[in-house]
Structure formats: C-alpha cells, structure tokens
Amino acid sequence: MSNATIDPQRPVGELAREVPAYTRVFEAAGIDYCCGGDASLAMACDQAGVNLDDVREDLADVQTDDAQAIDWDDLADLIDDVVETHHQYLREELPALEGLVRKVARVHGENHPELEALRAAYLALAPAMKAHIREEEEEVFPIIEKLDRGDSLSDAERRRLREVIEEMEADHEETAELLDLIAELTDGYTVPADACPSYESMIERLDALERDTHEHVHKENNVLFVEAETKLSDGVESRNS
C-alpha cells in the first residue's frame, strides 16, 4: 500500500507508532502526535492549521524502512529505551539548561522582558519533569515489567497501575502546556538579532528539549501505556473465563 493512500481518519499516535519516521513530518507541521495522539490525521492537521493533502504528501515521501524503528512488542526493551535515551538525557540536560536559562534571563532581561516569564516556566517545568521520571522508574515501570513477564498481579497492583498511568498522562499534559508556553515566549524558538552565543544556545536546547519530549511522551502514551492497559484487560478476561 502506498503512503499516499493514508486514511485521514487514522489516529496520529497510531501512525507515529507504525512508522517512527513520520514524527519528523508531524514535528515540522506542528502536529501534536503525543498527548493528542488519539486525534485523526484530518483533525490534527486542522488543529495545527496545516493542509491535510500537503501533510499526506510529505508522509508519502518518508522512507518507511527507517532504521530508527523500534521493536514495540517487547515492553522491557521499550522501557530500557525510554530510560536510557530520554530519562538519561533529562537527568543531564535539565540542570545544565537551568543554569543557562537563569543566566540569559539575568543578562538579557532588560531588552527581553519575556525572559522573566520564560525563566518562571522553566523553573516550574524542570523539577516537575525530574519528579515525573523518578516516579515512572520507581512506581510505574516495575509493575509493567512484571505484567510483561507474565507474572500475575494482585488486585491492588492492577488498580495501582491503572491509577499511576492516569497520573502520568496528566503530568504529560501539564508538561506539554509548559513547553507550549516556552515555545510561545521564544516565538517558536527564534533566535533574536541581539542574541549572544549563550542566548542562541539556550534557544536551541529548549527546542531540542521539546522535540525529545514529544518523542518520549509518544513512546509512553501511545505505545507503552496502551500495551500495558491491553495486557491488564486481557488478564482480567482470562481470569473471568
């Protein structure tokens, strides 16, 4: 089947899961495929204010045998990928970028009053993300790994897993709102004409943080949590039959 025939009613999260390279097209078009992954391609294009046919053409140009494809069926491997790729990056980048955001706000605040709001948004975002990844590693992933191994879960563990997945998804929404605010305050990560190298580096790294977070949240919301919930429901059915 040719990509040009992609059904506009298919959810964007599902498309991104099937062909990871599609996320580059979604990023470029400003389409939300992570927290808004349940929206159809047509609806997501409408929300982003982009032309559906143009996006379908861009998707058709993507090489679907892209090497970055991950074996989504193995949840333990997916958890390792999330921790090693995204959580590790955040552990290093969040504190380093915090120093830079503070410094740029201090030095350039007079000419760029929006930097005070940017600093405040970042200082709300960074500790929340740090707490979030710790909770995933300590509370959420161990139960999913147990489920993935086929070990039976107690009723309390099943309830807890459903609860924490909902909490994590709510955290993702809050993170997305703060990142949207940061994108707005930097005029879509535009480097101003009077920026020094530190300012430029801050903008580039904030942009990279947003892109990485989209990919990260997509892997959790649209793959890991969906698969865990499917396994939970399967377990209930087989116990009741």
Interface contacts to Fe ion, rule CB under 5 A: 136, 220
The set of residues, in sequence order, having a beta carbon less than 8 Å from that of 43 and lying 6+ positions away, is none
To Fe ion, the closest distance from the beta carbon of 80 in angstroms equals: 12
Q: Which is nearer to Fe ion, 59 or 182 (CB)?
A: 182
CB of 84 to Fe ion, least distance (A): 11
- Residues whose CB is less than 8 angstroms from the CB of residue 113 and which lie 6 or more positions away in sequence, other chains included: none
Minimum separation from the CB atom of position 241 to Fe ion (A)? 33
Question: Of 16 and 29, which has the nearer Cβ to Fe ion?
Answer: 16
Cβ atoms of 179 and 188 within 8 Å: the answer is: no
| Maximum Cα interatomic distance, the chain, rounded to a whole number of Å | 68
Task: For the CB of residue 20, give the shortest distance to Fe ion in the complex, in Å.
Answer: 17
By beta-carbon proximity to Fe ion, the closer residue of 35 and 59 is: 35
Shortest separation between residue 185's beta carbon and Fe ion, angstroms: 23
> Could you tell me where the DSSP H helices lie in the chain?
12-18, 22-29, 41-48, 52-60, 75-81, 88-108, 114-135, 141-149, 155-185, 197-218, 225-240
Indicate the residue among 92 and 110 with the shorter CB distance to Fe ion: 92
Separation between Cα atoms, residue 113 and residue 105, nearest integer Å: 9
What is the rounded CA–CA span in Å between residue 52 and residue 59?
Answer: 10
Query: In this complex, which beta carbon is closest to Fe ion, that of residue 77 or of residue 187?
Result: 77
